[in-house]
Chain A
Amino acid sequence: MNRTLKFLIPLALFLVAVGFLTKGLFLNPREVPSPLVGKPAPPFTAPILGEAGKRFNSADMKGQVWLLNVWASWCVACREEHPLLMEMAQTKRIVMHGLAYKDIDAESQQVLIAMGNPYNKVITDPDGKIGIDYGVYGVPETYLIDKAGIIRYKHIGPLTPEILLTKIVPLLKELGV
């Protein structure tokens, strides 16, 4: 390689990083179409947190509209949405299950004790296999699944009151919840 070119590598790498940083400043695309929206939710069975020996079977949810919230005790952004989840849980309007993604049971439990448990059930996914099926980019993510088991909506990142009011609540009305 040309000698001078070699010395330009650090600058080039830096400029690429700057490109991303700039985009990161202006873009805030919390909403992206997911290839899974409109498709059947991948079926799974998995252990339930705090209920030793019991397993959760996604097929049992047929006939119900429900939310699947992917979270983890190590996820900082999840703490941001947690108070909103607690409020949602208090209205008892919709069933929401948590998916503890790549987490250690004791640590998931500890967060729920410290911050409150907004979930009907927490499904454990220690090695992230269910997450892969659902195309989880990272935590938190929230899926809205209808009575027929079809994913109707997916939100990446912490839920916000706006998302709840403008996206999820209208969809729930549409689905008759």
Chain B
Amino acid sequence: MIPFIGELSLILAFIFAIVQGTLPLAGVWKNKTTLMNLAVPTARIQSLLILISFAVLMYSFYANDFSVLYVASTSNSQLPTMYRLAAVWGGHEGSMLLWVAILSIWTIAVTMFANNLPNTFKIRLIAVMGLVSVGFLAFILFTSNPFDRLIPAALDGRDLNPLLQDPGMVFHPPVLYMGYVGFSVAFAFAIAALLDGRLDNAWARWTRPWTTVAWMFLTLGIAFGSKWAYYELGWGGWWFWDAVENASFMPWLVGTALIHSLAVTEKRGAFKVWTVLLSICAFSLSLLGTFLVRSGVLTSVHAFATDPSRGLFILLYLVIVIGGALLLFALRAPNVGLGEKFDVVSRESFLLANNVVLAVAAGSVLLGTMYPLLIDALGGGKISVGPPYFDAVFVAIMAPGLFLMGLGPLAKWKKASIPEIGTRLKLAAVISVVSALLVPSVLGKISLMVTVGVFIGVWIVSTTLILLQNRIKTKQIAGSSLIDNFKAIPLAFYGMLLAHLGIGVFVLGVTLVKGYESEQDLRMEVNDVAKIGDLSFTFQGAQKIQGPNYTSSQGRFIVSEDGKQIALLYPEKRFYPVQGATMTEADIEPGVFKDLYVSLGEPLEKGAWSVRIYIKPFVQWIWAGCIIMALGGLLALLDKRYRIANKNMAAKTEEAF
């Protein structure tokens, strides 16, 4: 009975979403207040209904209701409760429901916090979000209903894919989707503005915080996913340029470009058309990612579902949403105007360069991701474009962009001077060159990749610090204390600094782990010792242990440095009987300067095992960098003056109407 409530709310939500997406728009067009007033209540009811339906599905998983087909195929009574709840998004149908559930959270947020917008604009915004929801709800109801029944009920479920039975999987999808779906708000802002014909500083100011929140979640979501791959897949890698990873990375690149371009539109009124196009692209790439992952057109370690009718449905949806948006763009954007002029050397130019680099980088990832599909469609069969392409192309595109990142924030708006920037950055240049030469020789292996990487990483960090020092100096009022100076700087500026620092930390992490990681594959008998540098790994044998829904061989390793024990590691080889799957659970001793990573390969004769040992220097910096970036986003969001300004602006625009 309970699953039926879930299905019913989903159907009702679909009906409400249709109303939300159409009547208020008609109301704005015909200037009928009664129709316009429908927007907020229908949006809230629609969202609540979806959330109810999501809660019902969660309950079905919690209660092991195997009369629901989806529960029976992705859960099992032996599965620990936490994973039973995470199993809600462990398969196709539930992932889609999670998608709309998160869209409803965003919709509710828009109805609650977007009060500073002019009324008609807000109504259009909510209506566009309703239309986005209609498509996804139709997709779920017609092709991927998570509440389909299984009569008679299964005795037990087929269990969750063991790869997904991991704490990381509990958080990774919701956080990632918060980002993905969050770009729908920026998208709706762009469409509403195009419909409205108004694209001004105020519009950019309203869009900014929403975009920043989405970007923040996406950053964290991608970082969680990468971390999950690192410890769960047992290969010690943290990024595979897999189609699904790329699907989340492309919106991130475009979203990052969007954040910067919005800043220019808000502050200088320039880049308007470009900003709108980026808003459309960011969400389009999120949708495209969903298509690529869900339709199964690409082979991927993540591929869950392959069903052409689903693929066709999503494709149709893409055509309507993205095609419609781009058509509207083509019709309306020419009238928007260009905004204020700026010099070749100016902050605008640097931000333009940033945008071009990020857009080209996203394009190159898109090309690499779609290339196999392209070849397939042209009759060339299924192929894989791997890291050799991505590493070469992506790094070559991003490196100059990252260098410019150090210069841009120091340049003045409208007109800047190169000699002036040069004097300010002399110190940073010296520090970066010295570190680029010193670090590789200290660490013992010199390569071009490491030298360039260290240079860029240190360059970003040092220019960012100089930027802070510079800002304090220019804001200095006679007699004010240093603390007052720190306080006088808006939080948004600190947010920018922190996000840039995060990039620097990330670049250093990537460079050093790529340049200095070491690995050994060996056969180890009980009490064998493996030596890597100053470290020795003693294998003390493996013993059988029993987990809640698996059996496991757990190895025990003592790691010591210069004769002193520094870590105990327990890597496992698990067997999940329900799915007949074997999983490698690496054990990792994380550290600021290096991770010790041990995983078990295959059992050999007489208690010996094939063992893989990695030393991963600075690998944690990769995720630390992402977290710092996200914190930067958070700071920017908390900027108080920004919100007051927003309110004043809204009051003014309201008067103007």
Contact = CB atoms under 8 A, between A and B. Distances in A.
Interface of A: 3-4, 7-8, 10-11, 14-15, 17-18, 20-32, 72, 74-80, 102, 106, 109-110, 113-114, 137-141, 156-158
Interface in B271-319: 273, 277, 280-281, 284, 291, 295, 297, 299-301, 308, 311-312, 315, 318-319
A176 B356 CA distance: 60
B386 interface: yes
B385 A14 contact: no
Contacts of B610: 113
A30 B382 CA distance: 6
A26 B383 contact: no
A139 B385 CA distance: 8
Given A11-B330, A20-B373, A110-B612, A77 B380 contact: no
A102 B612 CA distance: 23
Contacts of A76: 240, 242, 299-301, 384, 386
B15 interface: no
A24 B376 contact: yes
A81 to B, nearest CB: 10
B334 interface: yes
B376 A28 contact: yes
Interface residues of B, number: 53
B381 A74 contact: no
B535 to A, nearest CB: 19
Nearest to A27: B377
21 contacts: A3-B334, A10-B329, A10-B330, A11-B329, A14-B284, A23-B377, A24-B297, A27-B377, A27-B379, A32-B380, A74-B388, A77-B382, A79-B301, A102-B386, A102-B388, A113-B521, A113-B601, A113-B602, A113-B612, A137-B375, A158-B299
Contacts, number: 132
A4 B335 CA distance: 10
B326 interface: yes
**Closest 4 pairs (CB-CB, A-B):** A138-B383, A156-B381, A157-B382, A74-B386
A7 B386 CA distance: 34
Given A29-B376, A74-B388, 12 more contacts: A14-B284, A18-B318, A25-B315, A74-B240, A75-B384, A76-B384, A110-B521, A110-B612, A113-B602, A138-B372, A138-B380, A158-B299
B387 interface: yes
A8 B331 CA distance: 8
A20 B376 CA distance: 9
A8 B326 CA distance: 8
B315 A18 contact: yes
A152 to B, nearest CB: 18
B334 A4 contact: yes
Contacts of A10: 277, 280-281, 326, 329-330
Contact of B383 (A17, A77, A109, A113): A77
B383 A25 contact: no
B343 interface: no
B589 interface: no
Contacts of B484: none
Contact of A77 (B319, B322, B370, B384): B384
A162 B273 CA distance: 52
Given A14-B326, A18-B319, A109-B521, A29 B370 contact: no
Contacts of B281: 10
Contact of B381 (A3, A31, A102): A31
A21 B330 contact: no
A111 to B, nearest CB: 9
A139 B242 contact: no
Contact of A7 (B240, B323, B333, B372): B333
Contacts of A15: 323
A57 B377 CA distance: 36
B330 A7 contact: yes
A6 to B, nearest CB: 8
A74 B370 CA distance: 17
A167 B47 CA distance: 53
* Among B277, B284, B326, B334, residue most surrounded by chain A Cβ atoms (within 10 Å): B326
B166 interface: no
B381 A30 contact: yes
A156 B376 CA distance: 10
Nearest to B372: A138
A51 B311 CA distance: 46
Contacts of B334: 3-4, 7
B327 A11 contact: yes
Contacts of B383: 77, 137-139, 156-157
B298 to A, nearest CB: 9
A156 B382 contact: yes
Interface in B355-396: 370, 372-377, 379-388
B368 to A, nearest CB: 11
A158 B376 CA distance: 13
A22 B384 CA distance: 19
Contacts of B387: 74
A22 B383 CA distance: 18
B373 A24 contact: yes
Contacts of A25: 295, 297, 308, 311-312, 315
A141 B624 CA distance: 40
* Among A25, A72, A114, residue most surrounded by chain B Cβ atoms (within 10 Å): A25
B315 A137 contact: no
Contacts of B654: none
B375 A11 contact: no
Interface in B235-268: 235, 240, 242
B519 interface: yes
B519 A106 contact: yes
A76 B235 CA distance: 13
Contact of A18 (B308, B323, B379, B601): B323
* Among A15, A77, A79, A109, residue most surrounded by chain B Cβ atoms (within 10 Å): A77
A137 B601 contact: no
A137 B377 CA distance: 13
A74 B373 CA distance: 18
Nearest to B297: A24
Contacts of B319: 18
A85 B330 CA distance: 52
A7 B329 contact: yes
Nearest to A11: B326
A85 to B, nearest CB: 16
Given A22-B315, A24-B373, A106-B519, A78 B384 contact: yes
Contact of B385 (A4, A78, A106, A138): A138
